[in-house]
Amino acid sequence: VRLFPGRQSREEYLRTQIERSERKFRYCKVSIRDALRYRGVVLGDLGARGLPAAPGPILCLGTRNGREVDLFRVAFFGSAPRRLAAALLEHHGHSFRALCPPLEAWGRSDAARPGPASAVGVEVNPRGARRDVWTGSFDEMPAGWADAFGVVYSNSFDQSQDPGRTAREWTRVTRPGGYVIVGFAKDADPSPTDPVGGLRLADVLALFPGELVYYRERGSRAGHSEAVIRVAKGRP
């Protein structure tokens, strides 16, 4: 891991992230096909271990306009026809967007009460607030979320202020045996907006204790490297 030199104050860090999120607010770097692939990995791993296919609730971190929360809800908990329709009705331009937004938006969860079939999000930019998106920082989430989520997804780890603190917080909200899915820009240079650079798989594994169940370099449709880790808790 390489951190951007010249540490920002907490206020500067949060302001920088919100301003950047504002500039890029319409973009979503997650595709429904990514979410469906993660579904396959997680359900496959649960099945191989003889466990019920009960992966939720799901938490997405750094969700900007919130579309990825819809994608995870549809991919993990939607019916087969709805999953297929969402995959067919997605436009891939500079980023990804729904050609039929209500198909993805319908049935949003409540971030105040995440249930077994919920997908909820966290976004620091107040413009991203929604019924299913909690406004705040992903390194300082509600105390009541300890061990609450079966799947925690993010492609925003590069935006964290302190990788150790962020990884501990993501691990805290993941239930033992749950999955952390990290999409990251492998070996990218750190910058004021992306303070965490130089990330490689070995760093991700050191930050998130557990078993690697899937890895693909630059495997997401937007080109992020992606790691799925089954989290083991209580290890030093």
Ligand X SMILES: C[S@@+](CC[C@H](N)C(=O)[O-])C[C@H]1O[C@@H](n2cnc3c(N)ncnc32)[C@H](O)[C@@H]1O
Contact pick of 21, 171, 174, 225 for ligand X (by CB under 6 A): 21
> CA angle, corner 94, sides to 8 and 24, nearest 5?
30
Instruction: State the residue number with the nearest CB to ligand X.
Output: 62
Contact pick of 34, 139, 169, 203 for ligand X (by CB under 6 A): 139
Report, in angstroms and rounded to the nearest whole number, the Rg of the chain calculated over CA atoms.
16
Contact pick of 31, 109, 118, 125 for ligand X (by CB under 6 A): 125
Cα–Cα dist 107/230, whole Å: 28
Q: Give, as one character, the DSSP assignment of residue 98.
A: E
Cβ distance 177 to 230 under 8 Å? yes
Stretches 36-44, 58-66, 74-82, 225-233: which one binds ligand X (CB under 6 A)?
A: 58-66
Cα–Cα dist 70/92, whole Å: 17
Contact pick of 3, 27, 103, 215 for ligand X (by CB under 6 A): 27
Q: Give me the least distance between CB of 154 and ligand X, in Å please.
A: 7
Q: Give me the least distance between CB of 221 and ligand X, in Å please.
A: 11
Whichever of 28 and 120 has its CB closer to ligand X, that residue is 28
Whichever of 17 and 225 has its CB closer to ligand X, that residue is 17
Q: Is 30 in the site for ligand X (CB under 6 A)?
A: yes
Q: Is 132 in the site for ligand X (CB under 6 A)?
A: no
Nearest residue to 66 (alpha-carbon basis) of 112, 15, 11, 124: 124
Alpha helices in the chain (DSSP H): 10-23, 32-48, 67-77, 80-88, 101-105, 163-173, 201-207
Q: Give me the least distance between CB of 60 and ligand X, in Å please.
A: 7
Cα–Cα dist 162/3, whole Å: 8
Contact pick of 137, 174, 220, 225 for ligand X (by CB under 6 A): 137
Count of residues in contact with ligand X, rule CB under 6 A: 21
Stretches 38-46, 110-118, 133-141, 206-214: which one binds ligand X (CB under 6 A)?
A: 133-141
Q: Is 17 in the site for ligand X (CB under 6 A)?
A: yes
How far does the chain reach from its first CA to its final CA, in angstroms?
20
Stretches 45-53, 79-87, 123-131, 228-236: which one binds ligand X (CB under 6 A)?
A: 123-131
Cα–Cα dist 164/161, whole Å: 9
Q: Give, as one character, the DSSP assignment of residue 174.
A: E
By CB under 6 A, name the binding residues for ligand X. Answer: 17-18, 21, 27-30, 62-64, 68, 122-125, 137-139, 155-156, 159
